[in-house]
């Protein structure tokens, strides 16, 4: 059953007695531990060979971001960890990566369920040992084979089979299956890999029929039986074919006899066939002659076209020289303009300096004038003081003795009364001033609010007008979608069609471009519309002549309105190849991918003008920023648009002002309803604005009335206060007659006279300085005006140079346009020449083929005088004559061919019948022998399974029985814990959970002993055992592992396993407890014991 070498498990078949005393139990346990330690130590130096698992690594698998890398030992491995730490994930990854299906894991219905939530794919890497005599292609893979599995979110599974050095050897699953077959790895076999769910189901729900199926599948007897059934079906099909062929053989024999009679009575038709062959030779060379005559006009035309190419070359060279001369003049004009510009810049900087000097002289002059006026004012004040002081002295002298004490007292009382009234009026004036400020501020605030409201009202009116125009366009587009691109657009297209019908266009222009495209996803209408912008209403032409015709048509249809843009580009019959520069994102389409464009001209125009192959469409604006502004933006992507129209670059983004699609929206009625709602909202908002404006007008009128009344009241109060102030001043100016000495006043008068003299001297000096500053200012002003006139002259010269440069620019454009025109005509001519050359070459090839064919028919060249048509007529007549005669006598070759064919068919069918009958007899002999061997093998395997099962049970002093019923395909297992009669054996379903688990372990170990596999995996085999059963089961499995030297054992358990004996062949991998709050990678600590 396997080519792998193994040694049987060292189990003692002798049943030992079990005592109930604690001391005997302790002694028994100590003996078991000592025996297990010896066996483990004995197996330490044994190294497993090909097929065992050396390591495994998981990434984004199930609920784990990262597990591993785990390094497994060659013999016994325990994967220990709490629930959720990743034990079952490791076993599931092992099954899936080695070719198992998702259902075999009992963890999901499809592979995509194994990809971690939120990730795009899951990765599993498994390293298999490849040593020993059973190694698979060791010269290619080396001592290890690495199996890398990648599972995508869509459930696709891809493999990479690598050598030990990391070199990829294959991607094919057939190679993986060959490796698994070579190592005898069966991940779908529950004996090789027993998952937790399969173990639980086997413990609780397995019936006798299920146990038998489990046994048959584990021992591969089921596969052998299926092969036998397939062979029987193949034999039955072969017998059916033999029966069918026997009937056909009779018909073939009869047909063979009929053809043999025709062959014997066949007459000769050699003469007519010789004549027909001669005519066919003449016909072949007649066709060659006609083809040679057809190529002569083509050669003459090609020679003429080649001579005409020189004229086009001369024209292109002529305009090329003109372009060079115009560019030379343009450069000369540009250099002259640069020189004049530099001169003008220097003059302007000098003029600025002169202007600063003039301003400085002006400031000095103004300062001197201020000093002169100040001296003049001081002199005038001194003269006035002199006159007042003289008058005062005279008045005092006249009025010393005229005043009395009674007048002084009355004047003082009046002054006090006036001061009190003035204080009250000043307070009232201050209060009125504050009120005026408040009213003025209120008026200003209302006027400012009115201005703001008027601006908003104007914007609202413009928006309302735009909505009404859009509504009118949408309503008219119900019957004609073209009206969405402008009310004049249908008339323009009618004019284009009429002009094209009259032959005014070389190629019919395409447009508007937005009318010729459609969206695959209507939700992206706004994004595509903002992306394409003006191109939606644009037209495209093939050449400049068609552009001029289209411009004339537009000028007639659009007399005053804005005309659509025209893009001139050569029309191509197929869409550009954008595979190298286009963006290809697995989740989001480009604009080119999101559009349905039937016309390749339109697609090429949008690719050339807007680069739609390198612009992504991403519905969510946050996702768009993440994709575009992340560390690795998509290759070849220059920008992206969100569903709301936001434009996102790699380093910046812009928010769209437009909120609805005007041209590309699919539902016209919905757009009309939206526009109607917007117009209603705008009208309601306009009414609110009007009401608010009315309230503001009333507030302004009220505040202005209060302001006018307050101003009048303030003016009246100020006039009253002025009168009182004048009266108070007059009372204060009335002085009491003094009897003091007039000498101080006379001294002051004398001092004022001396000051007047000195001030007049200073005034003369300031006037002289002012005259000097005035002369300096006039000189600087004159120099500044002269420099400014010079700048004007240079500026006029620069304007003339600019005009000259503009003319040379136009001349360059004109020459380039003509050069491009002749280049295009020359290219078209060369294409025609190339087409003619290709046609001539094809004709030459056909001529050579015809000559070769004629040479095959008649090697000697013949000059045929007759035409091919007359020869064909004669050949037809001769064939009809031969056919008529063959109908009477039969064609010689056909009769011979049919005769030989009938003979060959008859012989082949007879030989096939003989071979098939021999095959059926051989198959019957082989099948009878193999069925006998299969029965014996099944009986032998059943006996070995019973033997090992009894031996395993005896280790715990259990008794049991396995009864195989191969006829009814059932397997009944009965177990009795402890000593007792065989009549008291119990079914496994009546046992406790631990006893049932122990019995199941014994059954699995007995199947291990009779089956071959490089590794075996058990997931939580001891979950229902008590401590005693768990320990005994563990000891048993370690004994089996120690005895089976070239196998690997992987046990997954949530137990601590601290009681295991110390050995190099036992490796414990402890998984970290799961972190429920985070999604960090889990790593295992390896512990070698």
Lowest mean per-residue pLDDT among 171-175, 736-740, 867-871, 1079-1083: 1079-1083
Count of C-beta atoms within a 10 Å radius of residue 277: 11
3-state SS, 480-524, equals CHHHHHCCCHHHHHHHHHHHHHCCCCCCCCECCHHHHEEECCHHH
Are 536 and 514 within 8 A, CB to CB? Answer: yes
pLDDT > 80? residue 63: yes
pLDDT > 70? residue 267: no
3-state SS, 282-348, equals HHHHHHHHHHHHHHHHHHHHHHHHHHHHHHHHHHHHHHHHHHHHHHHHHHHHHHHHHHHHHHHHHHH
pLDDT > 80? residue 749: no
Segment 334-376, tens digit of pLDDT: 788 778 778 877 777 778 788 788 778 877 877 777 777 778 7
What local confidence, expressed as pLDDT, does residue 281 receive? 75
**From CA 140, how far away is CA 506, in angstroms rounded?**
65
**From CA 645, how far away is CA 531, in angstroms rounded?**
8
Count of C-beta atoms within a 10 Å radius of residue 255: 16
Contacts of 910 (CB under 8 A, 6+ apart): 249
Computed over every residue of the chain, the mean pLDDT equals 78
Q: Check: pTM over 0.85? Answer yes or no.
A: no
What local confidence, expressed as pLDDT, does residue 355 receive? 76
Residue range 790-803: mean pLDDT, rounded: 77
Backbone angles phi, psi at 168, to 5 degrees: -75, 125
Alpha-carbon dihedral angle through residues 305, 306, 309, 310, given to the nearest 10 degrees: -130
Percent of the chain residues topping a pLDDT of 90: 9
Segment 168-180, tens digit of pLDDT: 999 998 999 899 8
Segment 116-143, tens digit of pLDDT: 888 889 999 999 999 888 899 999 999 9
The distance from CA 522 to its chain's CA centroid, rounded to whole angstroms, is 19
Which range scores top for mean pLDDT: 125-134, 237-246, 843-852? 125-134
What local confidence, expressed as pLDDT, does residue 2 receive? 43
What local confidence, expressed as pLDDT, does residue 738 receive? 47
Using CB atoms within 10 Å of the CB of residue 837, give its burial: 0 to 12 exposed, 13 to 18 middle, 19+ buried: middle
Residue 179: enclosing H or E segment and its boundaries? Answer: helix 173-183
CA distances from 31 to 28, 36, 1039 (A): 5, 9, 13
Lowest mean per-residue pLDDT among 59-73, 76-90, 471-485: 471-485
The two three-digit tokens of residue 677, written as one number: 């709602």
Residue 985: band (very low, low, confident or very high) from pLDDT cuts 50, 70, 90: low
Are 169 and 141 within 8 A, CB to CB? Answer: yes
**From CA 417, how far away is CA 411, in angstroms rounded?**
10
**From CA 499, how far away is CA 502, in angstroms rounded?**
5
Report the residue count for the chain: 1089
Which residues sit opposite 1051 in a β-bridge? 78, 1018
Are 605 and 570 within 8 A, CB to CB? Answer: no
Q: Are strands 566-568 and 539-541 parallel, antiparallel or unpaired?
A: parallel
Are 50 and 1024 within 8 A, CB to CB? Answer: no
Which of 647, 653, 649 shows the shortest CA–CA distance to 530?
Answer: 647
Q: How many helices (H) and strands (E) does the chain have?
A: 22, 23
What local confidence, expressed as pLDDT, does residue 475 receive? 64
CA distances from 1046 to 73, 94, 131, 1011, 1039 (A): 12, 20, 12, 13, 14
**From CA 640, how far away is CA 628, in angstroms rounded?**
7
Lowest mean per-residue pLDDT among 104-108, 345-349, 506-510: 104-108
Which of 20, 312, 147, 79 shows the shortest CA–CA distance to 1068?
Answer: 79
Count of C-beta atoms within a 10 Å radius of residue 504: 15
Percent of the chain residues topping a pLDDT of 70: 84
The two three-digit tokens of residue 261, written as one number: 């009679």
Segment 922-962, tens digit of pLDDT: 888 888 888 888 888 888 988 888 888 888 888 778 888 88
């Amino acid at each position: 059953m396997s080519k792998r070498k193994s040694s049987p498990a060292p189990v003692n078949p002798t049943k030992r007695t079990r005592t109930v005393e604690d001391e005997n139990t302790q002694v028994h346990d100590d003996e078991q531990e000592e025996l297990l330690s010896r066996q483990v130590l004995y197996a330490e130096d044994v190294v497993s060979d090909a097929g065992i698992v050396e390591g495994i690594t998981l990434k984004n698998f199930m609920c784990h971001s990262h597990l591993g890398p785990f390094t497994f030992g060659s013999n016994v491995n325990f994967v220990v960890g709490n629930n959720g730490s990743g034990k079952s994930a490791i076993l599931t990854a092992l099954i899936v990566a080695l070719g198992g299906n998702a259902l075999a894991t009992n963890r999901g219905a499809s592979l995509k369920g194994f990809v971690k939530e939120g990730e795009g794919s899951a990765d599993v890497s498994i390293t298999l040992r490849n040593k020993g005599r059973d190694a698979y292609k060791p010269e290619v893979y080396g001592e290890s084979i690495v199996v890398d599995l990648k599972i995508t979110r869509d459930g696709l599974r891809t493999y990479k089979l690598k050598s030990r050095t990391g070199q990829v050897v294959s991607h094919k699953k057939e190679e993986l299956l060959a490796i698994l077959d070579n190592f005898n790895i069966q991940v779908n076999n529950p004996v090789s890999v027993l998952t937790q769910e399969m173990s639980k189901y086997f413990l609780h729900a397995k019936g006798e029929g299920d146990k038998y199926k489990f046994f048959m599948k584990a021992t591969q007897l089921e596969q052998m039986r299926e092969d036998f059934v397939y062979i029987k079906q193949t034999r039955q099909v072969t017998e059916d074919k033999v029966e069918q062929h026997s009937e056909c053989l009779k018909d073939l024999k009869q047909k063979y006899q009929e053809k043999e009679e025709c062959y014997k009575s066949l007459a000769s038709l050699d003469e007519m066939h010789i004549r027909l062959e001669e005519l066919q030779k003449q016909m072949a060379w007649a066709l060659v002659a006609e083809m040679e005559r057809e190529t002569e006009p083509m050669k003459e035309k090609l020679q003429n076209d080649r001579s005409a190419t020189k004229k086009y070359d001369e024209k292109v060279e002529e305009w090329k020289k003109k372009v060079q001369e115009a560019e030379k003049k343009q450069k000369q004009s540009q250099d002259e303009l640069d020189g004049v510009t530099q001169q003008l810049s220097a003059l302007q900087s000098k003029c600025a300096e002169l202007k600063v000097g003039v301003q400085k002289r002006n400031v000095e002059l103004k300062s001197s004038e201020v000093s002169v006026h100040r001296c003049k004012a001081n002199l005038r004040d001194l003269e006035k003081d002199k006159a007042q002081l003289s008058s005062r002295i005279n008045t005092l002298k006249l009025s010393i003795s005229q005043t009395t004490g009674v007048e002084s007292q009355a004047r003082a009382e009046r002054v006090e009364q006036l001061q009190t009234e003035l204080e009250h009026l000043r307070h009232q004036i201050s209060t009125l001033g504050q009120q005026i400020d408040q009213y003025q501020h209120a008026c200003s605030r209302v006027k400012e609010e009115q201005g703001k409201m008027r601006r908003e009202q104007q914007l609202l009116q413009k928006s309302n007008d735009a909505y009404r125009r859009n509504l009118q366009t949408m309503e008219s587009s119900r019957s004609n979608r073209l009206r969405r691109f402008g009310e004049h657009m249908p008339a323009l297209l009618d004019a284009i069609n009429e002009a094209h019908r009259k032959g005014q266009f070389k190629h019919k222009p395409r447009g508007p471009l937005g009318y010729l495209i459609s969206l695959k996803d209507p939700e992206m209408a706004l994004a595509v519309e903002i992306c394409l912008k003006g191109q939606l209403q644009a037209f495209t032409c093939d050449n400049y002549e068609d552009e001029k015709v289209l411009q004339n048509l537009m000028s007639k249809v659009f007399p005053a309105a804005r005309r659509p843009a025209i893009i001139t580009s050569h029309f191509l019959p197929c869409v550009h190849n954008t595979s190298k520069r286009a963006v290809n994102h697995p989740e989001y389409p480009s604009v080119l991918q999101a559009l349905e464009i039937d016309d390749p001209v339109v697609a090429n125009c949008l690719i050339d003008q807007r680069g739609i192959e390198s612009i992504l469409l991403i519905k969510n604006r946050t996702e768009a920023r993440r994709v575009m502004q992340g560390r690795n933006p998509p290759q070849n992507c220059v920008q992206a648009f969100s569903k709301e129209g936001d434009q996102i670059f790699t380093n910046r983004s812009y928010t769209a002002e437009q909120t609805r699609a005007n041209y590309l929206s699919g539902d016209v009625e919905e757009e009309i309803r939206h526009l109607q709602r917007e117009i209603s909202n705008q009208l309601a908002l306009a009414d609110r604005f009007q009401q608010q404006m009315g309230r503001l007008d009333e507030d302004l009128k009220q505040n202005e009335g209060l302001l006018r009344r307050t101003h009048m009241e303030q003016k009246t109060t100020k006039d009253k206060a002025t009168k009182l102030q004048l009266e108070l001043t007059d009372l204060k100016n009335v002085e009491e007659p003094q009897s003091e000495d007039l000498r101080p006043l006379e001294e002051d008068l004398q001092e004022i006279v001396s000051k007047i003299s000195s001030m007049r001297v200073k005034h003369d000096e300031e006037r002289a300085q002012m005259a000097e500053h005035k002369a300096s200012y006039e000189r600087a002003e004159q120099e500044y005006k002269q420099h400014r006139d010079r700048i004007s002259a240079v500026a006029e010269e620069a304007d003339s140079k600019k005009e000259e440069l503009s003319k040379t620019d136009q001349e360059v454009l004109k020459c380039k346009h003509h050069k491009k025109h002749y280049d295009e005509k020359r290219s078209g001519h060369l294409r025609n020449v190339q087409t003619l050359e290709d046609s001539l070459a094809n004709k030459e090839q056909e001529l050579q083929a015809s000559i070769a064919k004629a040479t095959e028919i008649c090697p000697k060249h013949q000059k045929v005088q007759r035409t091919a048509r007359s020869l064909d007529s004669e050949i037809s007549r001769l064939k009809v004559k031969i056919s008529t005669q063959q109908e009477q006598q039969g064609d010689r070759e056909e009769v011979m061919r049919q005769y030989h064919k009938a003979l060959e068919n008859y012989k082949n069918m007879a030989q096939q019948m003989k071979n098939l009958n021999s095959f059926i007899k051989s198959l019957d002999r082989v099948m009878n022998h193999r069925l006998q061997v299969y029965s014996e093998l099944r009986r032998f395997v059943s006996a070995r399974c019973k033997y090992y099962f009894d031996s395993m049970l005896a280790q715990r002093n259990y008794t049991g029985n396995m009864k195989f019923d191969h006829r009814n395909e059932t397997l009944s297992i009965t177990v009795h814990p402890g000593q007792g009669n065989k009549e008291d054996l119990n079914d496994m379903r009546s046992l406790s959970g631990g006893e049932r688990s122990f019995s199941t372990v014994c059954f699995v170990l007995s199947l291990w002993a009779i089956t071959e596999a490089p590794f075996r995996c058990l997931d939580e085999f001891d979950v229902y055992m008590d401590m005693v059963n768990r320990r005994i089961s563990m000891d048993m499995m370690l004994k089996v592992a120690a005895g089976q030297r070239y196998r690997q054992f992987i046990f997954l358990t949530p137990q601590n396993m601290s009681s295991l004996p110390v050995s190099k062949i036992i490796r414990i991998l402890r998984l970290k407890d799961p972190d429920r709050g985070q999604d960090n990678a889990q790593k295992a600590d390896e512990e070698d014991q």
